Amino acid sequence: MKQGITMNLNQGWLFHLGDEPGADYMGWDDRAWKRVTIPHDWSVEQPFDRRNASGTGYLPGGTAWYRKHFELSDDTAGRRVRLTFGGVYKHASVWVNSNYLGGRAYGYSTFTFDVTPFVRPGENVISVRVEHEQVADSRWFTGSGIYRDVTLTITDPVSFEDGGLFVSTESVTDGEASLRIEYETSGADSVLFSLADGDKTAVRASTTGASGVCRMTVPAPHLWSTDDPHLYSLTACAMKDGEPKTAALVRVGIRTFRFDGDTGFYLNGVPMKLKGVCVHHDAGALGAAVPKDVWRRRLEKLKAMGCNAIRTAHNPPDTHLLDLCDEMGFLAMDEAFDEWEGAKNKWWQGHNVYPPKRFGYAEDFPLWHRADLEAMVKRDRNHPSVILWSIGNEIDYPNDPYVTPLFKEVLGNNDANKPAAERMYDVKKPDASRLAVIARELTDIVHALDNTRPVTSALSFPELSNRTGFADVLDVVGYNYKEKFYEEDHAAYPGRVIYGSENGKGAREWQTVLDHDYIAGQFLWTGVDFLGECPGWPRRISQAGVLDLCGFEKPGYWHRRAMWTDEPFVKLAVGHADVKWDWPDMERFLWNDEAGRLMRVSCYTNAGEAELFLNGKSLGRKQAAEEDPWRIRFEVPFEAGELRAVVPGGEDILVSSGEPAAIALNADRPVTGGIAQIEVRLLDRDGRPAAEDREIRYQVVGDAEILGIENGRPDDLTPYASHTRATCASRAIVYLRVNGKAALHAWGGDGLEAKAEIRA
């Protein structure tokens, strides 16, 4: 048997920004084009410009071309060859050797072409045209280009179809588990299966037919869980006339889960709350082209915060993210769409600044929704982390665009400045009763491909969707910011499973989950700051995350860690007592200010009490307040020196710091997947975070390149292509692509400089 070969085609692409009619021709002269590596996002290579849309972070789109030259050996003849794109934003058109294969409208779908008739031994050329002219087409930053992996798979003609293996856990009883394997091949007459646990074969099975179902009984199964994400490997071998032809590998997590309308969520029979966060797909300076290890670093921090669930807001994610959820023990809600037939308001002059624009996926939904939804489910259904399929986010947002005569006037949760005419029922707008019809179709599409997981949708207007039948179509009902309806709806709709699909980060929202067994959990808005959905120029980002755009912890992170973890700790953060807004993220981890100014000091802790000291003098011990048991507050006139909080089992200290005296480059994190993430700290002479920020210039010497520099500051409009960037709160991060031995140099003026050695 010739083993199937998967070739990563990420290296050596040629790129041209702008339309180039004729570049689909195999012999096109592309020698002057820019050389790039996939994943690639051209939007972040361009300057911020307020003429672009605030919703998508003031970065541009456009039209561009990609071309890839690659060689195939003579023995490729007679083999089956498939070309897969992980994601192209958006309206991609693809050619191979001058042959048009087709296109894909949705920028988040993974799609595959069978290129067997078009490739040849020797040189081959892929040409891709990407069109993203309307940047006000989303409510968040999308990126532009081939921003996920590209692969070529070469197999025997007798092989498995794309998405043609689906392994699920049917049951787990004392001492054994039953697995169901659905398979679909091209030309096989039987299939052999082998399940391995590490380097040991656990069980084998076989079946006949080109497609069908096989069952495996696994003795003494090692179950997958959030605390112990154990994975098996299933090898499936397509056979023909007794000869093995093509093997395929699937990672398997054996686990059971269920939702109960009265008692919540269970994993492997054990009740647990979903402690989730929503995440968008960008990483600041990297745009939408986010390497796997960047996600790993973020998830490590979220795991330490107590998070156990991820919601992909609001589109199918990169498969690397779900791979990490499998490996690290996160449950996942896999979301398909942010809009259906009706185009939502897209802000382009600042959040809620009228008039909106109305470009987006709605123009492609009627033709493409089935293909896109099926692609997501087939691609992701073998991930044990996935427990929910979401068919849409806030599709029922009031008057955006759907309306109902049941409500003459209505506002949504972000409609403070909505004009009066936009709040009123308008018979000429789409009727909200249509949503139940579409939801039924989408739910049926999912169930036909996977009946092991429930279908959900994140409702922004459940008080309407309960009356139109939309909510009744769903297996599990998500409520966005509507905790006030939990008790009422639990009583009104017996058996309904309710959870918070999008929630604010306050103590009250979490206490509501704790107080009601029937609430399965919540998903915070958001896990990480993201580009776009910003309030207006010059701010380029949303600051909704518990992690900033660099992946550093914000005060809200420690507030949530106090709610979601048990090991005692305390974290200090301070702000001005006279500031109107009292959310954690108005605070900072710095004890510097003018003498005598009244400061609000927050002790984030799960210990229930804290004692505060200023320069060794106790300012008193306080118990946590009932309204927020995880944040203990003091008001303290500022005095330079040491601020220290002590709780049973932990303490934290802030010390007044001085002007910048050193740059620290932390290169300790291993270089994984060729990517280095160098954390930058600006320090005073005593090694504390400096009281001031400084612009730092970076240069790489050796076999590496700078991919991006991020500081997380919302109004820093320095082009991402620049190698100079200021710190923010004395921090920044530098992303490098490393191919060999290299060094990163940093200069901050006034004798400040540092060097970090890096090796792939």
- Residue pLDDT, tens place only, 705-719: 999 999 999 999 999
* Same domain, residue pair 175 and 142: no
**Do 259 and 184 touch, CB atoms closer than 8 A?**
no
- 417 & 489 share domain: yes
Residue 434 pLDDT grade (very low, low, confident, very high; cuts 50, 70, 90) = very high
Does residue 4 carry a pLDDT above 90?
Answer: no
89 domain-assigned? yes
Tokens representing 623 are 């118990």
Which CATH number goes with the domain that contains 415?
Answer: 3.20.20.80
CA distance 317 to 540: 22
pLDDT, mean over the chain: 96
- Which of 532, 547, 563 represents a domain boundary (last residue)? 532
Token pair of 333, please?
A: 């809600």
Q: Are residues 637 and 679 in the same domain?
A: no
Give the angle 145-150-154 at the CA atoms, nearest 5°. Answer: 155
As a three-state string, the secondary structure of 485-537 is HHHHHHHHCCCCCEEEEEECCCHHHHHHHHHCCCEEEEEECCCECEECCCCCC
For the cut 80, the answer to whether the pLDDT of residue 536 exceeds it is yes
310 falls within a domain: no
Given this model, what pLDDT does residue 484 score?
Answer: 96
pLDDT surpassing 80 at residue 213: yes
For residue 16, the domain's CATH number is 2.60.120.260
Residue type, 402: Y
Place of tokens 């699909």: 501
pLDDT digits (tens, 9 = 90+) for 106-146: 999 999 999 999 999 999 999 999 999 999 999 999 999 99
- Say how far apart CA 218 and CA 89 lie, in whole Å: 42
> Domain for residue 550, yes or no?
no
Neighbours of 174 (CB within 10 A): 4
With bands split at pLDDT 50, 70 and 90, how would you rate the model's confidence at 658? very high
- Interatomic CA distance for residues 112 and 414, integer angstroms: 38
CA distance 249 to 252: 10
Would you say residue 65 has pLDDT above 60? yes
Residue 175, domain member (yes or no): yes
* Tokens coding 60: 């541009």
pLDDT tens profile 451-486: 999 999 999 999 999 999 999 999 999 999 999 999
Q: Residues in the chain, how many?
A: 760
In a domain, 319, yes or no: no
Q: How many of the other CB atoms lie within 10 Å of CB of 370?
A: 13
Q: What percent of the chain is predicted at pLDDT more than 90?
A: 94
Task: Say how far apart CA 675 and CA 755 lie, in whole Å.
Answer: 18
516 in the same domain as 502: yes
pLDDT reported for residue 2: 54
- 187 falls within a domain: yes
Beta bridge partners of 637: 598
CB 699 within 8 A of CB 714: no
Share above pLDDT 70 across residues of the chain, in percent, rounded to a whole number: 100
CA distance 329 to 385: 7
Under DSSP, the state recorded for 382 is: T
pLDDT tens for each residue of 68-114: 999 999 999 999 999 999 999 999 999 999 999 999 999 999 999 99
Instruction: Give the span between the Cα atoms of 491 and 456, in whole angstroms.
Output: 20
Which residue, among 150, 118, 122, 111, has the nearest Cα to 12 in the 3D structure? 150
Residues 523 and 563 in one domain: no
- For residue 91, being part of any structural domain is answered with yes
In this structure, are strands 731-749 and 675-683 parallel, antiparallel, or unpaired?
A: antiparallel
Burial class (CB in 10 A: 0-12, 13-18, 19+), 524: buried
For residue 371, is it left (φ>0), alpha (ψ between -120 and 50) or beta?
alpha
Q: Give yes or no for residue 602 having a pLDDT over 60.
A: yes
pLDDT digits (tens, 9 = 90+) for 138-197: 999 999 999 999 999 999 999 999 999 999 999 999 889 999 999 999 999 999 999 999
Picking from 592, 622, 655, the residue at the C-terminal end of a domain is 655
Which tens digit of pLDDT belongs to each residue from 387-401?
A: 999 999 999 999 999
> Residue 179: which CATH number?
2.60.40.10
Query: What mean pLDDT is predicted for residues 208-228?
Result: 96
176 plus 241 within the same structural domain: yes
| Residues annotated as catalytic (active site), given as ranges | 394, 502
Domain C-terminal end among 155, 188, 222: 155
Backbone phi, psi, residue 50, to 5°: -65, -10
Same domain membership, residue 131 and residue 14 = yes
Average pLDDT over residues 228-233: 98
Domain carrying residue 347: 258-298+338-377+390-532
Q: By the 8 A CB rule, do 324 and 299 touch?
A: yes
What pLDDT does 1 receive? 45
Residue 562 has pLDDT above 60, yes or no: yes
Please check whether residues 198 and 136 belong to one and the same domain: no
- Count of domains observed in the chain: 5
> Is residue 24, in this structure, part of any structural domain at all?
yes
Same domain, 349 and 464: yes
671 and 642, same structural domain?
no
Instruction: Write down the residue that tokens 């003498």 correspond to.
Output: 595
- Do 58 and 193 fall into the same domain? no
**In this structure, how many other beta carbons lie within 10 angstroms of the beta carbon of residue 396?**
27
- Looking at residue 174, its pLDDT comes to 86
Q: Does 415 score more than 90 pLDDT? A: no
Q: Are residues 416 and 272 in the same domain?
A: yes
| Residue 3: predicted pLDDT | 59
